A and B are shown apart, each in its own frame.
Chain A
Amino acid sequence: MEDFEPKIIAFLCNWCSYAGADLAGVSRFQYPPNVRIIRVPCSGRVNPLFVLKALYEGADGVLVSGCHPGDCHYQSGNYYARRRLEVFNNLLNFLGLNPARFKMAWISASEGAQFAQLVREYVQEVKDAGPNLEFVREKADLVRFLNEAR
């Protein structure tokens, strides 16, 4: 368990959060490398099925981050995202999924330090929650086939 390195998929909006993550990089803020970033034009582009698909394919955690409400490059995309993802998050909690599996955040383009802080916190949360075994697709037979073919 100590050496469990979670795989976290992050959907970051192009104009704010992705830029913020980039700023964290050039400013040399340290944060764990467990996050794999997918750039989307706006947090409103995020279909909750993205979150389910990521978990289904084996992600241990999914992060969605966008511009702060009021600052959306497309005016209102993040307002819709806020409504959708909060209802979706509620539904996942009711289902019994570990709350650590899904995180929603607002990170602006200038918030490099905050992005690093967010990732540090979230990676630890997912580490504490352990690997995602409860919402991942059944692929034991394929894994076996892959290994024996070698």
Chain B
Amino acid sequence: MRQDDLFLTCQKAFQERGLDLLLGYEKSSSGFLRPAVFTAPESLERISWDPSASLNLATYLPRFKSKKVGILAPGCVSRSIIILINEGQINREQVTIIGVPCRGLIEKRKLGDLEGVRLVEFRDVSFVLEKENQRRELNLEDYLSESCLSCAYPAPVIYDYLIQGPSREGSKGFLEKRIKDLTRLSPEERLLYFKREAEKCIRCYACRQACPMCYCESCFVESSEPRWLQAAPEPVDNLIWLLTRVYHLAGRCVQCGSCSRACPEGVDLMSLLAWANQSVFELFQYQPGLKIGEKPALGEYRLEDPDFFWGGGQTEGKKCCS
């Protein structure tokens, strides 16, 4: 993808669509990208897109309900936008989607000690880091986020403008394998694994804020009557937090990995989210964020839905997938 293509297309979008602002990325002092709001076409000279981006930009959309917003969107972000439209959070007309190709996003944690590291450039299948005047070239594939290694839709599925460039090939392998490995453990071992992950959580809610689907004005953790869990980061309370957030995302999560990259403690969220989505797909053949006008999976029903209830006629006796 060419940076000047990006710049020119975004400028065009600003003018042709009469945008109030454009959500994109700019380079930080260390060379890694960070989200930025561009309010004037002149500021677009800073706009950039490469695999060092981290947040799903659609998370900023519900803030701009009454504005005309442009947004850079690889596959996952475009699907998030479709879901936001389907759930009535934004209108299709007010958002201008500038589709960008996606080679995957880097998981900064995999880079280890980032002290003094500067990102120099991205090449075809590698990228170059500099530290203390020494340069290292690394293989891009080895440092991608788990979500990207299992991404089935890297290229944008909906767009108003499209920037040309190569995208990753869609695949599902990585998280599917992680789920299979986890299901091979005994339930007690699995619970121990997730409890240990939950103990890392400090309840900063960065995951919730980084997620475009978590747009509730009042989150269930803030409910005081009834109070579902304590504010203190106790192990079981943290587990309730993680489990419930994942459940609220079942059939709505596009597995962009924004939450996982935002988490300062490295909690394993992707396994639970991938399982929830897999569950919804296996039960109801539903994949979120692919079609405008679809209702969320848990917001509708079919008479022939699989039935695992005691006393149910159809599939009685069968235990749910485990």
Does B bind A? yes
> Which A residues touch B183, using CB under 8 A?
94
Contact pattern, B 156-197, Cβ under 8 Å of A = 1, otherwise 0: 000000000000000000000001001101111111111000
Q: Contact between A48 and B244 (Cβ–Cβ < 8 Å)?
A: yes
Interface segment among B13-21, B116-124, B139-147, B272-280: the answer is: B272-280
Q: Contact between A87 and B191 (Cβ–Cβ < 8 Å)?
A: no
- B73 CB → nearest A CB, Å: 28
> Which B residues touch A48, using CB under 8 A?
244, 247
> Which B residues touch A73, using CB under 8 A?
none
Q: Contacting A91 at CB < 8 Å: which of B191, B237, B246?
A: B246
Does A36 interact with chain B (Cβ within 8 Å)? no
Q: Contacting A138 at CB < 8 Å: which of B189, B235, B240, B307?
A: B235
How many A residues, CB 8 Å from partner? 42
Q: Contact between B194 and A90 (Cβ–Cβ < 8 Å)?
A: no
Q: Contact between A138 and B236 (Cβ–Cβ < 8 Å)?
A: yes
The docked-state distance in angstroms from the alpha carbon of A49 to that of B240 is 9
Q: Which residue of A lies closest to B274 (CB)?
A: A94
Contact pattern, A 129-143, Cβ under 8 Å of B = 1, otherwise 0: 000001111100000
Q: Contact between B312 and A56 (Cβ–Cβ < 8 Å)?
A: no
> Which B residues touch A89, using CB under 8 A?
308, 320
> Which A residues touch B313, using CB under 8 A?
68
A residues sitting closer than 8 Å to B (CB atoms) are: 48-49, 52-53, 56, 68-70, 76, 79-80, 82-84, 86-99, 103-107, 111, 114, 118, 121, 134-138
Does B309 interact with chain A (Cβ within 8 Å)? yes
Number of residue pairs spanning A and B whose beta carbons lie under 8 angstroms apart: 136
Q: Contact between B272 and A137 (Cβ–Cβ < 8 Å)?
A: no
Q: Which of B273-322 contact A (CB under 8 A)?
A: 275-276, 279-280, 283-284, 297-303, 305-313, 319-322
User: What are the 4 A-B residue pairs with the smallest beta carbon separation, nearest first?
Assistant: A96-B191, A96-B190, A79-B301, A105-B310
The docked-state distance in angstroms from the alpha carbon of A137 to that of B228 is 11
The docked-state distance in angstroms from the alpha carbon of A24 to that of B239 is 37
Q: Contact between B312 and A87 (Cβ–Cβ < 8 Å)?
A: no
Tell whether A86 pairs with B306 under 8 Å between CB atoms, given A94-B183, A94-B190, A95-B191: yes
Does B243 interact with chain A (Cβ within 8 Å)? yes
Tell whether A52 pairs with B190 under 8 Å between CB atoms, given A86-B308, A91-B250, A91-B272: no
Q: Contact between A104 and B246 (Cβ–Cβ < 8 Å)?
A: no
> Which B residues touch A88, using CB under 8 A?
247
Q: Contact between B279 and A91 (Cβ–Cβ < 8 Å)?
A: yes
> Which B residues touch A136, using CB under 8 A?
236
New A-B contacts (20) at CB < 8 Å, excluding given A79-B305, A88-B247: A56-B240, A70-B303, A80-B299, A87-B247, A87-B279, A89-B308, A94-B183, A94-B275, A94-B279, A94-B322, A95-B272, A96-B188, A96-B193, A96-B194, A97-B191, A98-B187, A99-B187, A99-B322, A111-B311, A137-B237
